Amino acid sequence: MGTKVNIIVGSHVWAEDPDTCWVDGEVVKINGEEAEIQATNGKKIVANLSKLYPKDMEAAAGGVDDMTKLSYLHEPGVLENLAIRYELNEIYTYTGNILIAVNPFQRLPHLYDPHMMQQYKGAPFGELSPHVFAVADVAYRAMINENKSNAILVSGESGAGKTETTKMLMRYLAYLGGRAATEGRTVEQQVLESNPVLEAFGNAKTVRNNNSSRFGKFVEIQFDKHGRISGAAIRTYLLERSRVCQISDPERNYHCFYLLCAAPQEDVEKYKLGNRKTFHYLNQSNCYELVGVSDAHEYLATRRAMDIVGISTQEQDAIFRVVAAILHVGNIEFSKGKEVDSSVLKDEKSKFHLETTAELLMCNPGALEDALCKRVMVTPEEVIKRSLDPYNATISRDGLAKTIYSRLFDWLVDKINSSIGQDASSKCLIGVLDIYGFESFKANSFEQFCINYTNEKLQQHFNQHVFKMEQEEYTKEQIDWSYIEFVDNQDVLDLIEKKPGGVIALLDEACMFPKSTHETFAQKLYQTFQKHKRFVKPKLSRTDFTICHYAGEVLYQSDQFLDKNKDYVVAEHQELLSASKCSFISGLFPPPPEETSKSSKFSSIGARFKQQLQALMDTLNSTEPHYIRCVKPNNVLKPAIFENVNVMQQLRCGGVLEAIRISCAGYPTRRTFYEFLHRFGILAPEALEGNSDEKVACKRILEKKGLLGFQIGKTKVFLRAGQMAELDARRTEVLSAAAKTIQGKMRTHIMRKKFLSLRKASVCVQAIWRGRLACKLYDNMRREAAAIKVQKNQRRHQARRSYKLHYASVLVVQTALRAMAARKEFRFKKQSTGAVTIQARYRCHRAHKYHKKLKWAAIVAQCRWRGRIARKELKKLKMEARETGALKEAKDKLEKKVEELTWRVQLEKRLRTDLEEAKAQELSKMQISMEALQAKLDEANTKLAKEREAAKTIEEAPPVVKETQVIVQDTEKIDSLTTEVQELKTSLQLEKQRADDLEKKRSEEEQANEEKQKKLDETENKMRQFQDYLRRLEEKLANVESENKVLRQQAVSMAPSKILSGRSKSNLQRNSENVQVSSNDPKITPESNNTSSPKKEYDIDDKPQKSLNEKQQENQDLLIRCIAQHLGYAGNRPVAACIIYKCLLHWRSFEVERTSVFDRIIQTVGHAIETQDNNEVLAYWLSNASTLLLLLQRTLKASGSTGMAPQRRRSSSATLFGRMTQSFRGAPQGVNLSLINGSMVTGVETLRQVEAKYPALLFKQQLTAYVEKIYGMIRDNLKKEISPLLGLCIQVPPFLVRKVFTQIFSFINVQLFNSLLLRRECCSFSNGEYVKAGLAELEHWCYRATDEYAGSAWDELKHIKQAIGFLVIHQKPKKTFDEISHDLCPVLSIQQLYRISTMYWDDKYGTHSVSPEVISNMRVLMTEDSNNPVSNSFLLDDDSSIPFSVDDISKSMQQIDISDIEPPPLIRENSGFVFLLPPPE
């Protein structure tokens, strides 16, 4: 049993309000069973406690997408959730597996575009936001997986959007199970294109909707065994026939009548129509036009729709002729005739309309008049004709109009079905039921009775389905549900359809008696159902009756029940129309079967409708049902208006509240263990301590609070109605007690804080007064100290003044003395510095002069020498340009150069020998001079010693000897000797210094000799290389001569068959002359003379040609085998591309008209990339293809016209030898003589332009296609698995790598951003932090990859970066709209910002999204921009196009030097690929 709701003071509740249906407020006072509530709108309400419902104050700000997640599942909770979501433009909401669709009354194209279909395709139900596509996807998946038919029931009142919802369902089913077009149109297109026809003839304006369907429609979409649409059928139910003759203001009749009146003038004249206001069936209402709708345009659109569904022009004319006839029939009026109870045509106007009707129906006017005014009664004795009075004649007229229109509508449905085509072998179908909703007006007749009967039947089916879903949920959670009562409406259905005592049975019985009236029928109902609880007799009416339906009581007026229930066709009408000359009209009224004609002619609408409904229910019972309830939020049909009373009535009529009552009968509140403990764990904290089992903890909490009747499932807690409110009340009490405790503690804290503040202030005052006393004492002490200090300073001043006087005098004296000394020293230093400067300048000038002289002499010598060499080179080049035997001359030059180099080497050796001999002689001379100087020195030393001994002897002699001049002379001699000794020492030092200089020169000469020796060795190496090179040239010369022979032989063989032009003959003569000249050259070998002899030219057979072709074919085979291998890279250059280019250029494949080498290369590349998953192979071939394409882009140029070919060959080279020697010219002294490598040494900039033929240009185009194909394959593979493949593109040109990563990052941006906007669980704070960490890793990778490879890839993530920045930013409610749109998220559109703001939820801190003011600003901007379908879409599209062209690749890649590429071992030793070897240095 459920627990009674516990309402206390302070509880937030919902109370009934006559204006807004429900209003929320807070309980301020409780008096017994009455409660006083302060509402949020300012009112004070007094209500009974039993009529209050608790409000969940912790509900999500944006509502919940599934209302079974509501804490309180009741009417006001459901209404509030729908209103909140509608305000956020979230028009779809689940209630379990039931979808509620609220009509937005505006276009939302972003919700139905193909990208949204792709998102919901295969997604589990409930994973994404609620959507009509999700329901269709579940039905389709169930049909495919379980091989069982499904049905989607769309219901709602007029204007709720049933038809649009049905269109969206069919669009999505066509998207899932579409097939190839048949005759230009698919089945789903034909079904959708039939809607305008059915709407024109079956829809009308009502009080609530301008395009209300006045019939029920069940569309069966049939599928084959592969899940593709194979056929379709449309079933219709209960067309409102009475509307043809009777309408009320401000409604309209069926659209087709107004469309025909607005048709082009020729059609109007053909059908004799006039102003629509002149027709009785149309002027009963004052509404003739719809706002914003042109009937003339709709008429043409309906005609086009008829053409599309297969209705021929003749059939269309017949259809509108019938419609016009119905309008004319309505204007036929009757008056009393001469006989009793007879009638005749009223006036000429009526006669005109009668004749026009007969003309349009192609029948006899007299017979038509008799059929309207008379009846034939067949008796056993005779046939009696009876006249009808004007009233009955009018009823007969209206009956004829209704019968014709009903038959016409049935024919249209059958025609559409036959046009669409049905699959008889189909085993599965998905039915979409678009049927009228529950209706309750001021005046309710037989149509409303049938409509509500249908809804009662569907509601029973709906209740059984909902109860079944509840049972499945309970069984899944393994709880006991056997005592739960099922809410059923079988008693109402028994009241209506039970035999023999049901309303329909009594109505059929009354219709079969001619004298029965609506009064007798009503009295029969009163007698039969006077004690039935669902039947009520009104007090003030004798013919009305009330039935208590599931959606409420409906008062029916039985005045026209009998007339509207009669369905038989009048025999006179049948005979009249069967005899029509128009085959279309006679086909609408085929003759009835004999057994039918013999039996009773009576049939009833009610009985037939009951049979149709039972057949529909049998179909629905055999399928798996899915429900969509459409809701109209307001009656003014405008967006952003949500009328609570209106919506609540529709929820009752749609059975949504009935489903809630079924849920409330069981366990309406369901919470997972975590959610329950998170919310109610505070009620029993001890249950959570030391207990890891959530299930046990939940049970302890519920048992502690004394609740009964709850159930504990496997993953959820199931609570009976009212128990959630009881727990919330207990929780509120606990929180209130906690709040009181917190308040007490806070007040204590505040008082203590105040006390401490006062105490601190008093201590501060005391300190201030004590400070003032201390200041006074300090001032006295300060004055005394100041007096002492003044006296001291005065005495010090006088002493210092005396001292300064003496000090200044001493300083003057010292300054003068020091200045004199400094000036003297300065003059001396100045003189010394001047002398040194003069000497330095002079020496510098002398050295500079000598250097300039040497430099000028060297420059003059170099210039003359270079000029001499240049003149010689120029002379040689000019000579080579005039000679035809340039190849031999080049060889001779090489030999001469070898001889010259040999002579230079010998000369260098001789010079080195002479230099060494000169050095040896000079050294011997220097040694002899040094020995002579040493002897002189020894001699001087000997003389000096002798002189010293003599002086010593003289000193030791007796003193008696007198001093004479001799002594003086000896002293002078000694002095002179001493001077001489000093000079000798000086000269000795000079000689030593000279010897050191010579030694240095000798060492320098030795170093120079070593360098010359190295150069000599290098020269010898070069000579050997040149010899090898000459050998290869000789081999090539032999090949060229062989080719020349073949060409000459072909030219000779072609001469008899063709007449040569002047240029060709001159070329051939010049070729032969050149060959003769070369043969007369004495330097050419005898072998070459023999091969070039003109005598043997004409004797050569096909052997050289055959051998040359075979050799070329072998070379091509070897090249293909070589490039099929993984050759790798040389530096950053792919080897295979360089090898291919050099071979093609050498073989002149670009200039030939026919060759197979290009196709073989393309086939090799295509075979190599067949395995699309091997990204390493794809990256390797992308590098080779792009490099080869770059070389071709800079080499090939399109050839001119065919007629210019001879002139071009003549201008470039007259003969084959001339073409060969063309590449030799300009090569300095034969260093780069190679035809192969001479034009490739310096890189791509020096590549010569080649006039390409068609095969070469085609090869370039194929190569371009392969670059784009391989690029797309790598990009698509990288989208699947990014991280492991980042290193494989390192050898691919950086330009392509940047493009790949730019598109990959764009793909990441689109996928993450769309997932964020489509899944609410992704739009959370914690998920934002998680994605932000991943983006930081990507940014770090881009930084490490540098701009060379990453480029602008990081900028492609701008949408997801700004969206994540919004998710993780704090204090969102404080952000203004300008801050969000301009500072935080400038790239995001208003629709994207609105989507993120409304879907955001904080699962970590519980904070809220942006403020309501910001949301309202966004909504206003979205409404202003709602007509723009591009701006309405909040999802991003992925761009998978190729983002570059061949010119982009050519401009982005740097120059490529292919001259030093080493050929692979497979072809290195082959003589046919000698040209691939690098040239000698």
Q: CA–CA separation, 702 vs 695, rounded Å? A: 11
User: What residues form DSSP beta bridges with 857?
Assistant: none
Distance of CA 1102 to the CA centre of its chain: 65
In sequence order, the 6+-apart residues with CB closer than 8 A to the CB of 1425 are: 1390, 1431, 1432
- Percentage helix, strand, coil for the chain under 3-state DSSP, each rounded to 5: 65, 10, 30
Q: Is residue 163 flagged as an active site residue?
A: yes
Exactly one of 6, 150, 213, 331 is catalytic; name it. Answer: 213
| Exposure class string for 394-429: b at 16+ Cβ within 10 A, else e | bebbbbbbbbbbbbbbebbbebbbeebeebeebebb
Three-state secondary structure call for residue 377: strand
The torsion angles phi and psi of 884, rounded to 5 degrees, stand at -95, -25
Q: CB–CB of 1216/1109 below 8 Å?
A: no
Contact assessment for residue 980 and residue 941, using Cβ atoms and an 8 Å cutoff? no
Determine which one of 194, 206, 209, 1092 is catalytic: 209
Report the residue count for the chain. 1481
161 marked ligand binding residue: yes
**C-alpha to C-alpha distance for 963 and 954, rounded to whole angstroms:** 11
Q: Check: CB of residue 188 under 8 Å from CB of residue 221.
A: yes
CA-CA distance, 523 to 37, in Å (whole number)? 48
**454 labelled catalytic:** no
Nearest to 555 by CA among 444, 437, 438, 436: 444
Name the phi and psi angles at 5, rounded to 5: -65, 130
Contact 1294/1302 with Cβ under 8 angstroms? no
Which of 3, 212, 417, 1324 is catalytic? The answer is 212
Our answer to whether residue 158 is catalytic in this structure is yes
194 tagged catalytic: no
Residue 335 falls in the annotated catalytic set: no
Q: Which residue in 62, 63, 159, 177 is the catalytic one?
A: 159
Residue of 202, 330, 399, 437 marked active site:
437
CA distances from 454 to 466, 606, 1072 (A): 18, 11, 107
The candidate with the shortest Cα–Cα distance to 1016, out of 907, 1148, 894, is 907
Residue 39 and residue 11 in contact, taking contact as beta carbons nearer than 8 Å: no
| HEC readout, 229-243 | EEEEEEEEECCCHHH
Indicate which residue of 163, 165, 350, 1067 is catalytic.
Answer: 163
Q: Look up 694 and say whether it is catalytic.
A: no
Q: How far is CA 325 from CA 233, 314, 588, 1062, in A?
A: 29, 16, 14, 91
1203: annotated active-site residue = no
- Whole-number Å distance between alpha carbons of 373 and 573: 11
- In whole angstroms, give the CA distance from residue 289 to residue 205: 10
Q: What is the DSSP letter of 1244?
A: G
147 included as an active-site residue: no
Name the 3-class secondary structure at 670: strand
Contacts of 202 (CB under 8 A, 6+ apart): 213, 214, 215, 236, 239, 254, 409
Tokens 């010898």 label which residue?
1020
The dihedral through the CA atoms of 247, 551, 157, 171 has a sign that is negative
Report helix angle 1135-1146 to 1175-1195, nearest 10.
40
The answer to the question of whether 160 is labelled as a binding residue is: yes
Tokens representing 510? 């009354």
The DSSP element (H or E) to which 217 belongs, if any, is: strand 216-223
Beta partners for 15? 23
- What would the two tokens of residue 941 be? 């030393």
Round to the nearest angstrom and report the end-to-end CA distance of the chain.
104
Nearby residues of 281 by Cβ (< 8 Å), 6 or more positions away = 244, 245, 247, 253, 257, 326, 327, 330, 401
867 labelled as ligand-binding?
A: no
The answer to the question of whether 640 is labelled as a binding residue is no
Strands of 318-391, DSSP E: 334-336, 343-345, 374-378, 383-387
Q: Which residues are annotated as a binding site for ATP?
A: 156-163
Q: Which residues are annotated as a binding site?
A: 156-163
Catalytic residues: 158-159, 163, 209, 212-213, 437, 439
